[in-house]
Amino acid sequence: MDRDPITGLPRDLGMADVLDKEGATKIKVYTTKKKFKKLVTIVEGIDKSQLQQTTKELKQKLACGGTFKEGVVILQGDHKNKLKNILVKLGYPEDNIQIS
């Protein structure tokens, strides 16, 4: 049986994903301007193992384009107001999400 080295639990249970989301990592959400004065929303602090899946789900729920690079999620448009609720629904603790 294959065990997770961090939790000691079987990998089949998928507990590592839940524990990663509940970790003490702070998630920072902010907007910035890029080329041609277009706004983009940046999400920092998501674990690299979940970055691709989280980006995909955020793009689907917000109906926007985006990507992930160097440990951050970049979403097209201003989505600061909606992101906190979506991240909480995805399993991230509300206390760890900082909107600025």
For the stretch 15-43, pLDDT in tens is 555 555 555 578 999 999 988 889 999 99
Please report the pLDDT score of residue 25 as a whole number. Answer: 76
- Do the domain assignments include residue 38? yes
The answer as to whether 20 is a domain residue is no
40 — phi, psi (to 5°)?
Answer: -130, 150
**pLDDT tens by residue, 51-83:** 999 999 999 999 999 999 998 999 999 999 999
Q: How many domains does the chain have?
A: 1
| Parent domain of 86 | 26-99
CATH number reported for the structural domain that contains residue 76 in this entry: 3.30.780.10
Could you give the angle at the alpha carbon of 79 between the alpha carbons of 75 and 83, nearest 5°? 95
Whether residue 7 lies inside any domain: the answer is no
pLDDT score of 91: 87
Tokens of 14: 């998928």
Question: Which class for 42: exposed (0-12), middle (13-18), buried (19 or more C-beta within 10 A)?
Answer: middle
Residue 100, C-beta contacts closer than 8 angstroms, at least 6 positions apart: 28, 29, 30
73 in a domain, yes or no? yes
Report pTM.
Answer: 0.75
Q: CA-CA distance, 33 to 72, in Å (whole number)?
A: 16
**Does 30 reside within a domain?**
yes
In a domain, residue 17? The reply is no
Task: Pick 89 or 13 by higher pLDDT.
Answer: 89
